[in-house]
Amino acid sequence: MKHIAVYPGTFDPVTNGHIDLVERSLRIFGEVIVAVAENPKKAPLFPLEERIAMLQAVTANYKNVAIEGFDGLLVDYVRKKSAVAIIRGLRAVSDFEYEMQMALMNRRLDSNIETVFLMPNVEYSFITSTIVKEAASYGGDVSSLAPRVVVEKLKKKFGK
Ligand code: PNS
18 labelled catalytic: yes
How far is Cα 108 from Cα 24, in angstroms, rounded to an integer? 26
Tell me the CA–centroid distance for residue 37 and ligand 1, in Å.
7
pLDDT score at 80: 98
82 labelled catalytic: no
Produce one character per residue of 28-67: b if its CB has 16 or more CB atoms within 10 Å, e if not. ebebbbbbbbebeeeebbbebeebbebbeebbeeeeebbb
Atom of ligand 1 nearest to the CA of 74: 18
pLDDT tens column, 108-118: 999 999 999 99
Candidate of 74, 91, 106, 129 to mutate for ligand 1, largest count of ligand atoms within 8 Å of Cβ: 74
H/E segment holding residue 132: helix 129-137
pLDDT tens column, 72-114: 999 999 999 999 999 999 999 989 999 999 999 999 999 999 9
Name the nearest CA neighbour of 88 among 67, 121, 116.
116
144 labelled catalytic: no
Tell me the CA–centroid distance for residue 160 and ligand 1, in Å.
31
| Binding site membership of 8 for ligand 1 (Cβ less than 6 Å) | yes
pLDDT at 10 over 90: yes
Tell me the CA–centroid distance for residue 74 and ligand 1, in Å.
7
91 labelled catalytic: yes
pLDDT at 160 over 90: no
